[in-house]
Amino acid sequence: MWRDRDFRRLWLGQTASQLGEQSSLVVLPLFAVLTLDVGAGQLGVLRAVEQAPILLLSLLVGAWVDSWRTRTVMVVADVGRTLVLGAAAVAGLLNWLSLPALFVLVFVAGVLSVFFDVAYQASLVRLVTSDQLVRGNSALEGSRSAAQIGGPALGGALVTLLSAPVAVASSALFFALSFLSVRRVRRTESVPERPERPARVWRRIHDGLRFVAGDSSLRAVCLAAAAFQFFFAATMTVYLLFLPRELHLSGTAVGLALAATGPGALVGAVLAARLPGRFGYGRVIVVAAALGDGAFVCVPVLHGPSATTMAVLLAVNFVFGTAGQLVNVTVMAVRQAVTPHGLQGRVAATITFAGMGLTPLGSLFGGLLAQEWGLRTGLLVTAVGMVLSPVVMALSPLARLGRDLG
């Protein structure tokens, strides 16, 4: 697979794009917390605005992407995100980046990320054969692992050592590199032929929804994703306040703690290419989800910026990264194997909508919980809520999937 130039270009583009996204996940909240001095409620609103496009646009984008070349969609999205974050960096350097302006910028960047992510999930199916999906997903998800190692650590270090605007500019640079790589993909995609009288967009969306609702495994994925993403968004909102304000960690330390998910995700990507075929897809998904989601329950008991605290945070994020990557790759392989080519974009968007669409509400919930109950109690409640996801999967037909998806 690595001999394929187009696959390598897609992989490099995805790696750069994920570096941009992962660094901005630390840079923008830290900019708001350290520079604009936002409270828990305001940070929850900021993260909700950033995630709102997932809820508002995923289904429409999925219907649209199925009729267009994924390469074109990804290239346009990368250009847009480069310009948006570049504008944010300039505004920050000139002290013009107020909280309302930051709301606008993160919303636009979120819209463009929806287009890129849906197109990216549909692109692999058009580039490789069905028997290469697990290896291809493992390689592409491995690129996200590399980004999770470097992105948060780089973002946190730049905010602490230089400035938030410089850190934002680094994210813009990564999106520019993604654009340069993805635009070099030359292989002609197997885009489904458009009928002479194409169905209306709402009809196409309905087809995607109906297909997912009619498949027991995909239906379980949607329910579990919804539970996980809601509580994970709530957890991260509290977590990004808990680390600097309750544990008194610097921006660099926060970045390093989050970056520990990266090495774990590299391990998870490697395991995802082997474990499902040995133990069964269902068993791997449920066990990995339980380990990864349950790890965060340890965090609220920590106190102070000690070496023990950092060691526990690194271990928690490593376990979460390993298990999360294992779940992501395995679930994506299941989804791609059972979905016809002409529905890949819409099915990906439907699952994204069902899961990620709840993240704005989760962020608001986390901010409100931290504001009313305090950071430590709020983090404990949201972390326990994450465990609901593996419970849903364990009680569904997804848990009974065997070693062969064919």
Condensed to tens digits (0 to 9), the pLDDT of residues 269-284 reads 788 878 888 888 888 8
Instruction: Classify residue 90 as exposed, middle or buried by CB count within 10 Å of its CB (0-12, 13-18, 19+).
Output: middle
Mean pLDDT across the stretch 63-68?
Answer: 72
Mean pLDDT across the stretch 47-68?
Answer: 76
181 close to 20: Cβ distance less than 8 angstroms: no
Tell me: pLDDT of 187 over 60.
yes
Q: Say how many C-beta atoms besides its own lie within 10 A of residue 386's C-beta.
A: 24
More confident residue, 205 or 201: 205
For 324-354, what is each residue's pLDDT tens digit? 888 888 887 788 777 776 777 677 777 777 7
Mean pLDDT across the stretch 48-53?
Answer: 82
Tell me the C-alpha to C-alpha distance, in Å, between residue 78 and each of 28, 66, 165: 18, 19, 19
**What pLDDT shows up at residue 377?**
92
Tell me: pLDDT of 45 over 90.
no
**What pLDDT shows up at residue 2?**
44
Rounded CA separation 317/323 (Å): 10
Tell me: pLDDT of 145 over 70.
no
Tell me: pLDDT of 176 over 80.
yes
Q: Which of 111-120, 330-339, 373-382 has the lowest mean pLDDT?
A: 330-339
DSSP state of 213: H
Q: Which of 39-43, 66-70, 129-133, 344-348 has the lowest mean pLDDT?
A: 129-133
**What pLDDT shows up at residue 388?**
92
Q: Sorting pLDDT into bands at 50, 70 and 90, what band is 94?
A: confident
Provide the token pair at 100: 């309302």
Provide the token pair at 157: 């270090």
166 close to 266: Cβ distance less than 8 angstroms: no
pLDDT above 90 as % of the chain = 10
Provide the token pair at 192: 């489904």
Tell me the C-alpha to C-alpha distance, in Å, between residue 385 and each of 100, 165, 234, 406: 31, 35, 9, 34
Q: Sorting pLDDT into bands at 50, 70 and 90, what band is 54?
A: confident
**What pLDDT shows up at residue 135?**
64
- Threshold 0.85, pTM exceeds: no
Mean pLDDT across the stretch 225-244?
Answer: 88
Mean pLDDT across the stretch 32-49?
Answer: 78
More confident residue, 136 or 10: 10
Q: Say how many C-beta atoms besides its own lie within 10 A of residue 66's C-beta.
A: 25
Tell me: pLDDT of 392 over 80.
yes
Tell me: pLDDT of 127 over 80.
no
